[in-house]
Chains A and B, each alone.
Chain A
Amino acid sequence: MLTLQVSRTERYQSHRSSLASAPSAAMNWCAFSPIREVNLSQDLKKQLIAMLPRLRRFARTMTRSATEADDLVQEACLRALSRSDQWNPDHPLDRWVFRITRNLWISELRKRQVRLGQGHVPAEETSELVNRDTGEETMAATQLKGKIAALPQDLSAVLLLVSVEGYSYAETAELMEIPIGTVMSRVHRARKLLAKEIAEPVGADR
């Protein structure tokens, strides 16, 4: 049992280390020039396309809807490309694009909330907004399949980042704009809910 814990830790540390120190071919293009700009943007575009499956998965944990997730991912990629001058190729691309994706979604939720006349909502509380008043969450959740669909949105996104993407609690906290302690409790709650779902599955076909 302890061996498993160590191997997971090593895997994550390796992943985190790679996130922190990812070298890039672009680092070697020392002279800043318009050609470099063009190449950087083209590189960014190709890396974004390669990331689309992971971006869609991350987006879906927040939107709960496949259609909305694809719209969100498209908007996030276009936003990243329009701001490619802000991309530092020496830093991991996924953190930057996940953050753009997450910020766009929070912005969308806030717009919906304002439209509903409920004013500004802090980022930490936006998960409570997910189509709460329209009843759409329950319907849309069917587009997240399996046991993960049983998790509230704020738990599934954090579980994905920590347990699958290999983000540290601190990295997850920074990305999701929540305290580290909240990351820890959400990851634990997610696992407990999944354990319950495994032991007592609700509905055979979701």
Chain B
Amino acid sequence: MTRDHEKLSAFLDGELSPEETREIELALESSAEMREELESLMASDRAAQDEFAAMLDEPVPIELASKVENAPVLSAANSPSKPSSFTWLTAIAACLALIIGGAGGYLAGSTNNTQLASAPGWLEDIADYHRVYAGQERHLVEVAASEADHIETWLTKTVGARVKIPDLSQHGLTFRGARLLVAAGKPVSQLMFTDELGQVVALCLIQTDTPADGFTQRTIDGFEMISWGGANANFVIVGDEGRADLKEIAQTAAVDA
């Protein structure tokens, strides 16, 4: 194997200098053998990418995710005047309780306060995730919108309920891609959309055997959330607090997702 042949791989990876790139381009123009070898390297790449992509479809053992989720964090031991995480979590819980008590009936005739009172912790986790990822302009998603089919297959398989990407373009929202989250110890699909101002709206889905009845709106940690139950799953749409069109977006998603 010569250095020149290795340069073909480097050419494929965009790792050559402009001069070296030009040399390879000239060689490719004049040599059928070089072109054949480049094609062969590209076929290898495609095979590798397919196989490595398939590995992401394998479900993560819930024990592994739980161990990471339940691992202690550094700050609890090191902060001299540590504000206990208990206080922090309690504040969220109190906030949730207030909203549970006060936000019923937002969507007329469809709210079920009994279910609100037993609202699962997954929504708090979703709020945390949204705070982290909505600020990640370039790393907004784990798998890009260009792989929409793969996203639906992968997340449906992993979450255990049908994941379909809804068309929210009538609300000015563009699908950007997806992430897999873990909330309340279960896998959650997160589909990310942005509007023309770059504001992020996320649609999350968690499998459940007891889907919620009707729609519920609440605010958690500065984010507006509207949740509802569907076939074998609970859904929540998340946007910035005060976003006026979230209700309409939720209704479209409930029909199309």
Contact = CB atoms under 8 A, between A and B. Distances in A.
Interface of A: 1-2, 4-5, 8-9, 12-13, 17-18, 21-28, 34-35, 37-38, 40-50, 52-54, 56-57, 60, 70, 73-74, 77-78, 81-85, 92, 145-148, 159-160, 162-164, 168-169, 184-185, 187-192, 194-195, 198
B71 A77 contact: yes
B115 to A, nearest CB: 25
A41 B83 CA distance: 14
Contact of B28 (A2, A52, A185): A2
A22 B180 CA distance: 19
Nearest to B8: A188
A204 B1 CA distance: 28
Contacts of A190: 44, 48
B73 A84 contact: yes
A188 B5 contact: yes
B51 A22 contact: no
Contact of B65 (A38, A41, A43, A52): A52
Contacts of B73: 38, 41-42, 44-45, 81, 84
A186 to B, nearest CB: 10
Nearest to B70: A45
Contacts of B42: 4
Contacts of A184: 6, 9-10, 15
B56 A9 contact: no
A168 to B, nearest CB: 7
Interface residues of B, number: 69
Contacts of A27: 135
Given A73-B64, A81-B73, A192-B1, A163 B49 contact: yes
A38 B55 contact: no
A148 B74 contact: no
Given A22-B136, A83-B74, A84-B75, 19 more contacts: A5-B12, A12-B14, A13-B14, A17-B138, A22-B139, A25-B135, A25-B136, A38-B88, A40-B75, A47-B132, A57-B55, A74-B67, A145-B51, A163-B48, A184-B6, A187-B13, A189-B1, A190-B44, A195-B44
